[in-house]
Structure 1
Amino acid sequence: MKNKIFLYLFVFAALIALFQFVSTGNLQKELNGDIETLQSEVETLKDSIQKAQLKILDIQYFSLENNDDALAYYEHLNLENPSRYIEDKLLETNERRGDNPLIPYEGMNGDFKINKIKVINHRWILADFSDGKFWGDLVIRYDLKDDLSVDFTLVDHLLYTRNN
């Protein structure tokens, strides 16, 4: 009787060990599959990040902040952020009553005001303007003088037409 109990215990322990061995193997295969899937996703994300970084660098190519030659023109002025200073001066032209004097159109739905500004280099600005319904773009030449005054000259302009 004692021998049969030990035999049953041994068989039961062997079945538990076999079950543990098989389930651990299956779990290990599943985990390895998950790891491979995650590694491929990480590689895909790394590629996406690299493409996004290259796109950002491409977008920033025409920018005063990234143009050392253009920034050299303003070293003697001791401006911390020349681009921001020029943008602020251009936005001050919006404060006048009526349309912005740099915009050669009369507002149809209100006054035309400058919205977005991109300082390209030490001489040119791209700007977007709108009256809330109609919009357009400007190319502006500017001169930042030693007394920190800024002269703006309109070079070209475009008003988009609505197809309604």
Structure 2
Amino acid sequence: MKQKIYLYLFLFISLIALYQFVSTNNMVKAKNTVIESQAEEMVKMEDSIRALHLNVLDMQYFSLENNDDALAYYDHLKLKSPSLYIADKLLETNESKGDNPLIPYEGMESDFKINKIKVLNHKWILADFSDGKYWGELLIKYELKDDLGVDFSLIDHLLYTRSN
């Protein structure tokens, strides 16, 4: 009788061990699959981040902040950020009543005002303008003087036509 109990006990323990082995093996396979898929996603994300980084570098290529030669023109002025200063001065032209004086069009829905500004270098600015419905772009030449005054002159402009 004692031998049968030991035999049944041995069989029972063997089944439990077999169950544990199979269950752990399945769990390890599932975890490895998850880890592999996450590793693939991580590689894709790294590629996306690299592509976005290159895109940002391309977008910053024409920018005063990243142009040391152009910034050298403003070393003597001791401005922390010349491009922000110039953009602020350009936005001040929006404060006049009516259309912005640099925009050669009359607003159709309301007054044309400058919205976005990209200071390209120590001489040129790209600007976007709108009246809320119609919009266009300006190429502006500017000169930052030693007394921190800024003169703006329009080089070229365009107004987009709406096509419905």
Mapped to 1, the partners of 2:70 and 2:40 lie a distance apart of: 43
1:107 aligned counterpart, secondary structure: coil
Q: How does 1:1-164 map to 2 (within 5 A)?
A: 1-164=1-164
2:61 aligned counterpart, secondary structure: coil
1:126 aligned counterpart, secondary structure: strand
So what's the TM-score if we normalise by structure 1?
0.98
Deviation at 1:79, TM superposition (A): 0.2
After superposition, what is the alpha-carbon deviation per residue over 1:43-62, rounded to whole angstroms, capped at 9, x for unaligned?
01100000000000001100
Mapped to 2, the partners of 1:133 and 1:25 lie a distance apart of: 64
Mapped to 1, the partners of 2:118 and 2:99 lie a distance apart of: 20
Deviation at 1:157, TM superposition (A): 0.4
Deviation at 1:2, TM superposition (A): 1.6
Identity %: 70
Q: Structure 1 stretch 153-162 or stretch 27-36: which is displaced more?
A: 27-36
Mapped to 2, the partners of 1:134 and 1:33 lie a distance apart of: 54
Equivalenced residue count is 164
1:48 aligned counterpart, secondary structure: helix
Mapped to 1, the partners of 2:133 and 2:7 lie a distance apart of: 90
For structure 1, which runs of at least 5 residues remain unmatched after alignment? none
After superposition, what is the alpha-carbon deviation per residue over 1:114-134, rounded to whole angstroms, capped at 9, x for unaligned?
000000000000000111111
Deviation at 1:31, TM superposition (A): 1.3
For structure 2, which runs of at least 5 residues remain unmatched after alignment? none
Q: Which runs of 4+ in 1 moved over 2 A?
A: none
> How large is the RMSD of aligned CA atoms in angstroms?
0.7
Matched to 2:129, the amino acid is: F
1:60 aligned counterpart, secondary structure: helix
Mapped to 2, the partners of 1:24 and 1:163 lie a distance apart of: 65
After superposition, what is the alpha-carbon deviation per residue over 1:83-140, rounded to whole angstroms, capped at 9, x for unaligned?
0000000000000001110001111111111000000000000000111111100000
Mapped to 1, the partners of 2:12 and 2:74 lie a distance apart of: 86
Matched to 2:43, the amino acid is: E
Matched to 2:87, the amino acid is: E
So what's the TM-score if we normalise by structure 2?
0.98
Matched to 1:107, the amino acid is: G
